[in-house]
Structure 1
Amino acid sequence: MNKNTVLDKLNNLIFGLIVLVTFLTPIFFLPITYEYFEFNKLYFFVAATVAMAVLWCAKMIVEKKVYFTKSPVDFALLLVLVSFILSAVTSLDKTSSLFGSYGRWFPSLFGFVALYFYYYAVSTNVDSARKIRVVLWGISVGTAVPALLSLVNYYGLTIPFLHLFNQRGFLLAGSSTSLATSLLVGLIVSASLTINMKSPVKKSVTLAISILDFVALAVFGGVAFTAGATLLAGLMVLKSPSESVAKSKMYLFPAVGALVTFIALFFIVPQTRFVLQRAYPKEVLPSVQESWIVSSTTLRDFPIFGSGVGTFHLNYPRYKTLSQNYTPTWNVNFDKPANEVFNTISTLGIFGLLAYLALISTLIRLAFKSIKVNDAYKGLSVVLSAGLIASLTALLLGYTSFQLAFLMFTLMGLLTAESALNTNKSWAKLWTLSLESRTDSEGVSIIESPILAKKELLQYIISIPILALAGFGIYQAYLQYAPEYYMRKAITSASKQDVSKSYDYQVKAISINAQRSEYHRIYADTNLALAQSLSSKQDLSDQEKTTAQNLLAQALRNIKFASETLNPLDSANWVARAQIYKFLIPAAKDADQFAIQAYNTAIQLDPTNPVLRVELGGIYFAKEDYLSAGNLFKQAVNLKSDYANARYNLAYSLFKLKAYTDAKAEFEVAQSLVEKDSPDYKQVALDLEAVNKLIAETADAEAKAKPSVEALEKAGTTAPKAPVVQEPLTKPGTPVTP
């Protein structure tokens, strides 16, 4: 086999991988890991990128030269990479910064490094306009499939034999926000192809895809995404070649008609708004105002490099405002802000923000510079530039999912590749590095040596570290992927009541990757649950007692490792630790003090959370320290005055303090906050009946015998104007499940 044949095969393999990953990434998922969607998209992409690296190295060795496409994007992209590295080094949670926060796997340093290499693989190896168009078709079709399936799911239609797809809320993107951001890019790419292609058949196909994307975008993205798509589409038409627009009028008119019709149906005409399924489960994000407050406060404390890539889940509970307790999502600890700007400010700091601004300004400048060149490539430049600007716009409308980042880097690479191909554009060139003495206009000679001239070595020198990095990437991918597989197996086994297998799978997950605090917390909870189940049996044998003690000891070891070593700033770890100590209170004399300490730490990390104070107050109540318990319940009421369970627990503390009148007031408020005729409402009615009886019996003596409750303040009795969804009422000391 001659050299050219080998090169052709290597080129085809690299290009085939690029097309494959472009088409499959928006679609790809596997139900074999804890999280089906983004996690599997990321590691599918990593595997494909490693394969590209190996093939590219083989290609360089065969050609005996090292080459890559150089452009103004290089420096700005390198700055962003450096900001990721520095932010990860100084991170509050290094595991989340390196490999993504649990359940939200991007952004992460690992993912960004893979995208960084992928950009150069695309910009260097996509070496013709035909190949660029094929990749663009991959983007168009790849984003259309999730759009179609999401609408099928949205309107409750069923797909035969695909039961997983028929589950309500099942979206290939993983969430409605991720779907909307990728649809925005897919829509603009498809609409641009409709304008700038010649084939009527292809125009018809991309027009149909554009309309499909627009409908799905309006449904899942709402007004903001719909308005953004409309503005971007209009800008794209204005910047497209006039002859292309003129030839596409027969396609533009139905597209505009469909656009106006759907906007009217979805958002304007009251009688037709029912087409939007308001009850369909969608992702909820914090408001722009709340996101700004959390991000700016984090920036105050971590100004240079932020709190660390992927650590917004730690920042939100620490810095959220008190007003958040009066929203429907008061008991949700968000792990993403309203958009990527706030995420960058919070997690990457000033350096990361400046790096991103440098990259974005460079991309926008090159995009507009590219479409100003009037030549045969202008239509292609418009498609690439419009798609890239759409991906940047998506950063303002939502957060960066891996799917959005992948589309953005693909379009960046394609725009650079097109600029390198076009002789009328001088800002991107294919650079060849060589140790040989000969050079040409596109080559750079490094060393002139008669010995090295006989045998080129640079391709080996460059390939070895690339292959080593690829091997390290595969190893790290295994360390991240295998535990997720076992955690899914553990969940499946638990759902089948096979506790033993679930336990063993969790052990396997931790044995492979012991750096995830979530694994240790879940494992500790499992040990605690098993110990509770065993302890509830009557007449335990000595062996069973020993087993229960071993389970509790294991739970303590794991949760202490998670809360003290792996992630001491995650309040969830301290809550889990407190609950284990709380279970030990009847058996260990100092367990209550350890539980109190753990709850106090959790409160420091989540200071506006009223549930934690109710839980802590329950421990004091069990110790018959009713005044301390009442103080904590009152703090919970001050944090959230419409929190029925806090009112109910405060009423019980006042009752124990024999402040019957104040207890009655709190019981009445608690009753007004729960649904009428519910079991909770009836229970409070019984409590009120009992307290009224005591008030009547001790009307004269109460004023003399009543202890001081000045520390508790006067309890308010004004019910909120609107009903609030409440958790079931629990008596003091009972675990709260919001």
Structure 2
Amino acid sequence: MKIINICNRVIEFSFYFLFFFIPLILFGTTSELFEFNKMWFTFGITILISVSWIIKSIIKKQFQIQKTPLDIPILLFLLSQIISTLFSWDFHVSFWGYYSRFNGGLLSTISYIALYYAFVSNFTAKNENNKIETLEGTKMVKNVLLVSLMSGVVVALWGIPSHFGYDPTCLVFRGTFDVSCWTFDFQPKVRIFSTLGQPGWLAAYLAILLPISIYFFIKNFKHKDNEEKSSFFDLKFPDKPKPILLSLFYLSSIILFSISLIYSVSRSGVLGVLISLGFFVAVYIWHRYKKSSINLPILIILAGLIVLILSNQTLINLKFDIGSEPTNIAKESSEQIQEVKPHVEALGGTDSGRIREYVWSGAIEAWKNYPLFGTGVETFAFAYYKYKPVGQNLTSEWNFLYNKAHNEFLNYLATTGIFGLGSYLLLIGYFFYLLFKRLKYAVLKPQENRLPLLTLALLSSYISILITNFFGFSVVIVNIYFFLIPAFVLLQEKLIDPERKIMIPKTVSENSDSSKFSPFQWSSITITALIALYFLYTLYVYWDSDKLYAYGSNLDKAGYPQEAYKYLHKAVARRSSEPVFKDALIVNNANVAAQMLLESDKVTSESAQQASAIAQEAINISNELTLNYSNNIVFWKSRVRMFYTLSQVDARFLPQALEAIRRASELAPNDTSILYNHGVLEGQNGNINEAIRVLEKTVTLKPDYRDPHFALGLFYHQAAVDKNGKVINQEFFQKGVDQMQFILNRLSPTDDGAKEALKSWGKL
């Protein structure tokens, strides 16, 4: 029927759009350029596919879900994510995902699983005449992979010029064909990231595509004239591209992917490629050798590719990817933790492998305290603060916010417990079991069995995902491949029985295919379409509100709180259920209120009343956030900033700032930045002895941190003298002097603050 055909085409092309556009999508006006927009596009595509699938089912009067060998592992994994979300430290974060990323939240997992079942259910169906209603599964798989290669070529061509100082992203968003739109610490001339957002993410993506491009090159290269050649797109083009042109395209893609991988300078990416390609080449050569049909040109190309990667970048000189990625053009935007500093590892700093050890250690410690279901899906940012290893304070990234464990497996362990990691490993392990059952005959008895080359390539790509995920974490496009590659392989190897389906209802009447729709069918189709439109509109409102939030946050951080005020209020008004928007608003409100009251020459009773109302609004919102999200340390830190800012115009707010920082210290007992601020606030509230105790702990945890040494010296001195300035405690007086001398001797010989203090104390 016509509507069913339309639905089939929508589903088909939605998958093409998914694999082509996800790697490419980025926007310069959102709070995060890359992952946020890719995740939102994935949500939108999932809605389109799902609604088309449902409408098709309504017309057929039966909803069919294809059963697959991976059903039990997938459902167990989904169940683990649901349970972990229900018991999460932060339900909102677990459901939606960590703000700005969103990948990894329960909603994203549901989307990936929905895409998996949509693919296997819609490209294996047959009608009663045994004719294919949609593209046959194996053809669809090859089409999607070809689309993936085309997208990958665009990504590579977009990224390679940035290595030489010409970034198309800057041209699009700034109108300058250079790299000036990126901050100094995110220079693509050092490590390219193209449209993916981080060098490691680009490398992980390319590692997936390389075995696939090699497969198509080999397959096209060895075509005989009498063999059936697969069309380039299976879209009924008038003329099929000549094999030589396809070979050039595939070879070019291999070269472009390899060059981009080298310029990404990613240790995990190169390691993933070497292991996955090593596996691919070893199995391929073994099989061809046993059949005495090794193709020398192909062997030379494959060997040359591996040598090229190894000779240009040794694993010793490469970098693991730790830290943050560029989140906005020209300026770091909307980081929820103000003290977080930009990523410096690529340009210097502590070895990333050492930093990774600390992050992994924190993940394991979090799991030990929440062994069954973890701290909650995507709550690692909060869990790591709680269980941060002391050694992290001695690295160059001592004050970074880690919202991932930089190991996908440990991330699942910490946030979803042994149930989450166990079901994740079961899914991977059972998929490998199914594949190796298929491949072993081709390997053990190559003379009698053909080598399923595409399956081998897809397995190699899957192996690369596991390698890069082990040293990092998945992003949107990687997770799409993680869930869809098994679908591709199951269809390719005919491991799915089209007759085994979940059918609701189990039987339909004989006239179920009638061209006339009943009123119930029309009503169901209309309701389904309206629900889909509502979901799409909700996504748009959320995305548009984020742009307001991003702009307002940037204005506030740039020192224009009153200009930012209206944008942040609009963001909250449009998406009142997003706590991150409210968190930015409370800080802005405090800045606006303080600014209004500090302008003494302009203060009137009316403006004072208005400032008081704005401050009270901030307090009310902060009360709401810290009550509903009591384990979210980000909101407690914002509460400290809010009360401290207000205390600059009204000292009565200072005790409330102290109360908030004490709670923050409980949530982050080894975070020296929080401890430093805690100590200072204790002292400002008159608790000198407690201030000294907290600051002594701070300098013990991080001896090279100048600010707590300076504050500790001041409080030692304050405790050592009476109100007339006479020394009454010689021990504390000397400790204060020692702190200032430590700064000058060990940290900064030209420190003016320390010199001035010693001079005023008569010690310089």
Q: Give the TM-score category using the shorter length.
A: 0.7 to 0.9
Distance 1:61 1:7 in 2: 10
Q: 1:537 to 1:285 in 2, by over 3 A?
A: farther
Q: Contact between 1:65 and 1:459, CA under 8 Å: does it hold in 2?
A: no
Q: 1:683 to 1:652 in 2, by over 3 A?
A: same
- 2:733 aligns with 660
- 1:184 aligns with 207
- 2:228 aligns with none
- 1:355 aligns with 423
Report SS of the residue matched to 2:172. coil
| 1:27 paired to 2:42 | no
Seq. identity, %: 21
- 2:339 aligns with none
Distance 1:591 1:624 in 2: 14
Report SS of the residue matched to 1:429. coil
| 1:154 paired to 2:154 | no
Report SS of the residue matched to 2:32. coil
| 1:193 paired to 2:190 | no
Q: Specify which of 557, 560, 564 is matched with residue 623 of structure 2.
A: 560
Distance 1:13 1:649 in 2: 64
AA partner of residue 130 (structure 1): K
- Following superposition, the deviation at residue 588 of structure 1 comes to 5.1
Q: Specify which of 424, 446, 450 is matched with residue 506 of structure 2.
A: 446
| 1:17 paired to 2:80 | no
- 2:709 aligns with 647
Distance 1:214 1:263 in 2: 11
- Following superposition, the deviation at residue 549 of structure 1 comes to 1.3
Q: Deviations over 1:679-710 (max 9, x none)?
A: xx23322332333449xxxxxxxxxxxxxxxx
Q: 1:269 to 1:488 in 2, by over 3 A?
A: closer
- Following superposition, the deviation at residue 448 of structure 1 comes to 8.0
- 1:710 aligns with none
Distance 1:177 1:247 in 2: 34
Q: 1:278 to 1:151 in 2, by over 3 A?
A: farther
AA partner of residue 498 (structure 2): K
| 1:229 paired to 2:273 | yes
- 2:607 aligns with 544
Normalised by the length of structure 2, the TM-score is 0.79
Q: 1:125 to 1:368 in 2, by over 3 A?
A: same
Q: Deviations over 1:465-518 (max 9, x none)?
A: 976874664365346323213213424665898755532221222223333332
Distance 2:389 2:363 in 1: 12
Distance 1:292 1:498 in 2: 39
| 1:477 paired to 2:539 | yes
Q: Specify which of 25, 33, 54 is matched with residue 57 of structure 1.
A: 54
Distance 1:412 1:63 in 2: 28
AA partner of residue 266 (structure 2): G
| 1:321 paired to 2:367 | no
Q: Contact between 1:644 and 1:673, CA under 8 Å: does it hold in 2?
A: no
Q: Contact between 1:189 and 1:384, CA under 8 Å: does it hold in 2?
A: yes
Q: 1:189 to 1:315 in 2, by over 3 A?
A: same
- 1:722 aligns with none
AA partner of residue 452 (structure 2): K
| 1:635 paired to 2:681 | no
Distance 1:486 1:516 in 2: 13
Distance 2:275 2:34 in 1: 30
Distance 1:306 1:496 in 2: 38
AA partner of residue 206 (structure 2): L
How does 1:375-386 map onto structure 2 within 5 Å? 378-386=452-460
AA partner of residue 710 (structure 2): Y
Q: Deviations over 1:561-580 (max 9, x none)?
A: 22222x21122222222233
AA partner of residue 259 (structure 2): V
Q: Which moved more, 1:333-342 or 1:620-629?
A: 620-629
Q: Deviations over 1:577-615 (max 9, x none)?
A: 223323444665643322221111010001012222322
AA partner of residue 568 (structure 2): Q
AA partner of residue 482 (structure 2): M
Q: Contact between 2:565 and 2:585, CA under 8 Å: does it hold in 1?
A: yes
AA partner of residue 479 (structure 2): A
Q: Specify which of 632, 639, 659 is matched with residue 570 of structure 1.
A: 632
How does 1:77-92 map onto structure 2 within 5 Å? 77-92=74-89
- 2:586 aligns with 524
Distance 1:134 1:26 in 2: 17
- Following superposition, the deviation at residue 111 of structure 1 comes to 1.0
Q: 1:619 to 1:49 in 2, by over 3 A?
A: closer
Uncovered stretches (5+) of structure 2, i.e. residues with no partner? 124-135, 187-192, 224-242, 318-344, 443-448, 721-726
Q: Which moved more, 1:365-374 or 1:122-131?
A: 365-374
How does 1:245-394 map onto structure 2 within 5 Å? 248-267=295-314, 278-279=346-347, 287-371=355-439, 378-394=452-468
Report SS of the residue matched to 2:23. coil
Normalised by the length of structure 1, the TM-score is 0.82
How does 1:386-425 map onto structure 2 within 5 Å? 386-420=460-494, 425=495
- 2:64 aligns with 67
Distance 1:615 1:320 in 2: 18
Report SS of the residue matched to 2:24. coil
- 1:690 aligns with 760
- Following superposition, the deviation at residue 317 of structure 1 comes to 0.5
- 2:250 aligns with 206
- Following superposition, the deviation at residue 99 of structure 1 comes to 0.5
- Following superposition, the deviation at residue 546 of structure 1 comes to 1.4
Q: Contact between 2:55 and 2:528, CA under 8 Å: does it hold in 1?
A: no
| 1:173 paired to 2:196 | yes
- Following superposition, the deviation at residue 376 of structure 1 comes to 7.7
Q: Contact between 1:140 and 1:190, CA under 8 Å: does it hold in 2?
A: yes
Distance 1:645 1:58 in 2: 63
Distance 2:461 2:281 in 1: 13
AA partner of residue 547 (structure 1): Q
Distance 1:586 1:372 in 2: 72
Distance 1:181 1:281 in 2: 23
Distance 2:717 2:68 in 1: 74
Q: 1:203 to 1:459 in 2, by over 3 A?
A: farther
Q: 1:692 to 1:305 in 2, by over 3 A?
A: same
Q: 1:480 to 1:110 in 2, by over 3 A?
A: farther
**Count of residue pairs brought into register by the alignment:** 667
Report SS of the residue matched to 1:67. strand
Distance 2:119 2:350 in 1: 34
